[in-house]
Amino acid sequence: MRVHVADHPLIAHKLTRLRDDRTDSPTFRRLADELVTLLAYEATREVRVQECEVVTPVATTRGVELATPKPLVVPILRAGLGMLDGMVRLLPTAEVGFLGMVRNEETLEAHTYANRLPADLDRRQCYVVDPMLATGGTLVDAVRYLVDLGADDITAIVLIAAPEGIARVEEALADLQVPVTLVTGAIDERLDENGYIVPGLGDAGDRLYGVV
């Protein structure tokens, strides 16, 4: 797995505001949206394009457009929804699928409870969005599921990641014959005994949408 930390002062600035426990939900949502757009710019460097012809007011020229089949954006419910607008702003013609996954707080394992994806992802580039990579179980399950459906290139976009989660994903997906890239705004220090990222930013879903 290729890991890319988007080292940019604007990303660092917005991430600092996200971490602040005084940041309210409306501001948190806005900052997350802005951050995703910045991260998506880095994450889509290898998006597939094809040549096309375009007529300008002056002449006919050659350009590029997104290749077919179009990329698929996959937010992990529910917190990943807070990153969706930022992704489709940059990729407005991409399709969107959804995976509902929840972590068992006792075993720290991820379980899938909802799936709204195309049945066939043959030759599709997929962009998985989730605010945090903590223990790594959710991302491992999501990537393997997408590969089983035919996806042949997967990029995960997270706001922050834990070293333990990155290591687990790399180990669990070592046998995968599909390129996987992780793009993150920061790699934090560690996980605590409850599987939360330190220093982290708290529970992203709760901070986006409130406690439910």
135 assigned to a ligand binding site = yes
197 assigned to a ligand binding site = yes
136 assigned to a ligand binding site = yes
Residue of 107, 120, 190, 192 marked catalytic? 107
Label the pairing between strands 153-158 and 132-133: unpaired
Give alpha helix (H) positions in the chain.
9-19, 25-43, 84-90, 137-148, 163-172, 204-209
202 assigned to a ligand binding site = yes
Label the pairing between strands 190-191 and 197-198: antiparallel
133 assigned to a ligand binding site = yes
Q: Does the active-site annotation cover 107?
A: yes
204 assigned to a ligand binding site = yes
Q: Does the active-site annotation cover 188?
A: no
Residue of 103, 112, 144, 152 marked catalytic? 103
Give alpha helix (H) positions in 119-162.
137-148
Residue of 33, 85, 152, 206 marked catalytic? 206
Q: Does the active-site annotation cover 203?
A: yes
Q: What is the DSSP letter of 71?
A: P
| Other C-beta atoms lying within 10 Å of the C-beta of residue 196 | 17
Binding residues for uracil: 197, 202-204
Positions marked catalytic:
103, 107, 203, 206
Binding residues for 5-phospho-alpha-D-ribose 1-diphosphate: 78, 103, 130-138, 203
